[in-house]
Amino acid sequence: MTAVTVGIRLLALGTAAVFVVPLQMLALRLGWRLAGWLPVLFHRLLLGLFRVRVVVHGHPPDGRRPTLILSNHVSWMDIPVLGSLRPLSFIAKSEVAGWPVVGLFARLQRCIFIDRARKTHTTHVNTEVAHRLARGDLIVLFPEGTTGDGNRLLPFRSALVGAARAALAEPSLERIDLQPLAIVYVRRNGLPVTRRERPAIAWYGDMDLAPHLAAFVREGSIDAVVHWGEPIPFDAASDRKRATADAEAAVRGAVQRAARLGVDALQPLPDGLPVPLSPAKVYESAVR
């Protein structure tokens, strides 16, 4: 992608933001349903402009039961990829709230910020998660606690899933679902992503964000596979550590399978069909 092309696409995204940001602020203040869908549309625009195609397998939450989504975490790109699928929010570390631009968009996405250095803050966050789940919000938690290099899944921390246990203290919640979700980046610039190349897509460790973003816009299109696992019922009698381990095993299996299949993972998997009206159609038409 040439510098001129990048500039034009960034200008288009910036122009959209000029209209979307104040409208989202108003929608949040007035409690409009539009507040859930504006971020979805913005994420889809971002992915379309920068040639990121998303293919979805499995079945997302159907809305019949409060759901906490447990996902692996590879890159900053996970946020627009997941955010493009449906209205949802994320549990993010408190430092994100202070980042320029990113912090603003995180707040507009209605993210829940957690200061892991303060144990008392975890209680506050769990309470907010409970209220939000009771209202029907979908919330994404990255139980690895950080991003990985895309080749391996870090252990899920059951302490972070404590929000599920705390949510059951909400009088209106007797049971919630923990739904595993796997993200795998399988193709870049039309070619399969190899094990050696995956860390170049991932953003982890002490990598600087600016060079990573520059490489992202310079090195071509990306195909991502998102796989929804089977929901794990969670109630007052459930073992948090066991439920966390089950979710980790489901995500690990989906990641390994998609990585093994490579570009073939862009086709329907044997045990599931693409979600109807998959956003992949949006992105495919955007890059043609």
pLDDT in tens, 129-170: 888 888 889 999 999 888 877 778 889 988 878 878 878 877
Query: How is residue 271 annotated by DSSP?
Result: T
> What are 103-119's pLDDT values in tens digits?
999 999 999 998 866 76
Q: How far apart are CA 126 and CA 232, in angstroms?
A: 19
Name the residue with higher pLDDT: 106 or 286.
Answer: 106
Q: How far apart are CA 52 and CA 8, in angstroms?
A: 17
Q: Please provide residue 44's backbone torsions phi and psi, each rounded to the nearest 5 degrees.
A: -65, -40
pLDDT at 40: 96
Range of the domain at 174: 3-287
pLDDT at 93: 85
Q: How far apart are CA 201 and CA 77, in angstroms?
A: 9
CATH of the domain at 261: 3.40.1130
- pTM equals 0.86
Total count of domains within the chain: 1
Amino acid of residue 43: H
Q: How far apart are CA 149 and CA 53, in angstroms?
A: 20
Amino acid of residue 248: E
Name the residue with higher pLDDT: 230 or 199.
Answer: 230
Name the residue with higher pLDDT: 165 or 29.
Answer: 29
Q: In sequence order, what DSSP letters do the residues of 103-153 get, joined into one string? A: HHHHHHTT-EEE-TT-HHHHHHHHHHHHHHHHTT--EEE-TTSS---SSSP
Q: What is the CA radius of gyration of the chain?
A: 18
Q: Please provide residue 63's backbone torsions phi and psi, each rounded to the nearest 5 degrees.
A: 85, -5
Q: Which two tokens stand for residue 108?
A: 């507009």
